[in-house]
């Protein structure tokens, strides 16, 4: 039986197979209030996520946990990774 970092491998079904199960939905719902209020910074670029801006509940790269909220564009890899290049907009 495989041991994951969390110590628990959830049973396979259609809602959890891609890591977007009940826990993800609950976390996203919890964070969404803070995002809607403009109180959350992107987990990847560390810029504020403005109310109404597209965002994702971002996984760590190894999918062992959650980074937190990040801009949809950052989560989908359209932005240089922080630390690889200085932000040209600063």
Question: 43 with 65: CB under 8 angstroms?
Answer: no
Question: Could you say which of 35, 57, 69, 74 contacts Zn ion (CB under 5 A)?
Answer: 74
Select the span of 15-23, 29-37, 38-46, 56-64 touching Zn ion (CB under 5 A).
38-46
Tell me the β-bridge partners of 55: 71
The torsion angles phi and psi of 88, rounded to 5 degrees, stand at -70, -10
Question: DSSP 3-state helix, strand, coil percentages of the chain (rounded to 5)?
Answer: 20, 15, 60
From the CB of 19, what's the least distance to Zn ion, in Å? Answer: 20
Question: Can you tell me which of 31, 42, 57, 69 binds Zn ion, judged by CB under 5 A?
Answer: 42
Q: Which residues bind Zn ion (CB under 5 A)?
A: 42, 44-45, 71, 74
């Amino acid at each position: 039986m495989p041991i994951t970092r969390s110590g628990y491998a959830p049973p396979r079904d259609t809602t959890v197979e891609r890591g977007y199960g009940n826990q993800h939905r609950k976390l996203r719902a919890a964070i969404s209030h803070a995002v809607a209020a403009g109180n959350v910074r992107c987990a990847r670029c560390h810029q504020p996520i403005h109310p109404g801006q597209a965002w994702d509940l971002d996984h760590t790269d190894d999918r062992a946990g959650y980074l937190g909220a990040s801009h949809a564009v950052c989560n989908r890899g359209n932005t240089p990774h922080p630390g690889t290049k200085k932000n040209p907009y600063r």
